[in-house]
């Protein structure tokens, strides 16, 4: 890993990398570049500020020694300085207030690598804004489970996080199923082609195809997003679950975004209808 490559990864290491995950292996030059990119980097990055409660720009802090190193350090001196760091903290400050700070702790085990060992606020807290907007359409319980899943995955708990995601995903599919079956009941039998028995017998991927009119098109067209769902729990390893985490989470968010859009559209129409009614009654009087 070159220094440039390390610098390109810093933002992810800070905001996305799970605790206890390695950012560099045993290679000394990898460790040097990772540490240098982490501690001698003043490039700002965007993240959710838990104090401002919205997205903010964070600027990593440098102490006097580090500032001197950036300005005057020779490459060899900088390298020795970096490799001497055993336990180091990267602190970053919110552009809106110097009191809003994030901290990230890394451990360098010479000859063995560099790993992330601490962070405040937690990755789960940083991803809550992404999910909290969906309370209206997913409900408090499902959003809470989604946050729990994200929290578990960031701590490397694969199967546990997967179970939460699966629960949410299946309940969303069940919502669509109720809608499809409900419309079937109301409709004229001649035009109703909903086959409840076939649905009950179907596997999850087949069910999604059957519900294609009630689920986001994107989801129906990309079965790999939920492909893992057709497997039994005992067939999956911790790693299978972690590797599929992002795809599963995305599948859920796609449904959530669609629902939110429909919800907002409905709200807007209701507001407009009310407005028109008001205008109508004013004109009459």
Instruction: Give the binding site for Zn ion (CB under 5 A).
Output: 49, 51-52, 56, 94, 96, 100
CB of 91 to Zn ion, least distance (A): 14
CB of 47 to Zn ion, least distance (A): 10
CB of 49 to Zn ion, least distance (A): 3
Nearer to Zn ion, 95 or 204 (CB): 95
CB 58 within 8 A of CB 46: yes
CB of 99 to Zn ion, least distance (A): 8
CB of 125 to Zn ion, least distance (A): 13
In angstroms, the CA 194 to CA 177 distance is 10
CB 35 within 8 A of CB 83: yes
> Which residues fall within 8 angstroms of residue 138, CB to CB, at 6 or more apart?
146, 168, 172, 256, 259
Nearer to Zn ion, 96 or 217 (CB): 96
In angstroms, the CA 85 to CA 122 distance is 23
> Which residues fall within 8 angstroms of residue 107, CB to CB, at 6 or more apart?
86, 87, 114, 115, 117
Nearer to Zn ion, 19 or 95 (CB): 95
CB 229 within 8 A of CB 241: no
In angstroms, the CA 4 to CA 70 distance is 15
Nearer to Zn ion, 93 or 154 (CB): 93
Nearer to Zn ion, 52 or 198 (CB): 52
């Amino acid at each position: 890993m070159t220094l440039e490559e390390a610098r390109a990864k810093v933002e992810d290491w800070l905001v996305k990398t799970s605790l206890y995950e390695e950012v560099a292996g045993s290679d000394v030059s990898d460790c040097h570049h990772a540490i240098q990119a982490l501690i001698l980097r003043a490039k700002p990055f965007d993240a959710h500020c838990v104090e401002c409660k919205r997205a903010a720009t964070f600027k990593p802090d440098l102490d006097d020694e580090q500032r001197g190193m950036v300005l005057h350090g020779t490459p060899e001196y900088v390298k020795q300085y970096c490799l001497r760091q055993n336990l180091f903290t990267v602190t970053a400050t919110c552009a809106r207030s110097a009191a809003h700070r994030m901290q990230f702790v890394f451990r360098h085990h010479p000859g063995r690598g560099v790993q992330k060992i601490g962070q405040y606020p937690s990755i789960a807290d940083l991803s809550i804004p992404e999910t909290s907007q969906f309370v209206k359409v997913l409900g408090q319980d499902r959003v809470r489970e989604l946050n729990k899943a994200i929290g578990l995955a960031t701590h490397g708990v694969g199967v546990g996080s997967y179970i939460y995601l699966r629960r949410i995903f299946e309940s969303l599919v069940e919502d669509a199923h109720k809608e499809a079956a409900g419309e079937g009941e109301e409709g004229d039998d001649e035009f109703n082609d909903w086959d409840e028995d076939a649905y009950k017998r179907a596997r999850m991927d087949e069910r999604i195809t059957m519900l294609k009119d009630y689920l986001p098109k994107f989801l129906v067209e990309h079965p790999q997003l939920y492909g893992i769902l057709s497997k039994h729990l005992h067939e999956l390893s911790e790693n299978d679950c972690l590797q599929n985490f992002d795809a599963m989470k995305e599948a859920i968010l796609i449904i959530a975004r669609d629902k939110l859009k429909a919800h907002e559209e409905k709200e807007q129409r209701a507001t407009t209808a009310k407005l028109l009614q008001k205008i109508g009654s004013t004109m009459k009087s």
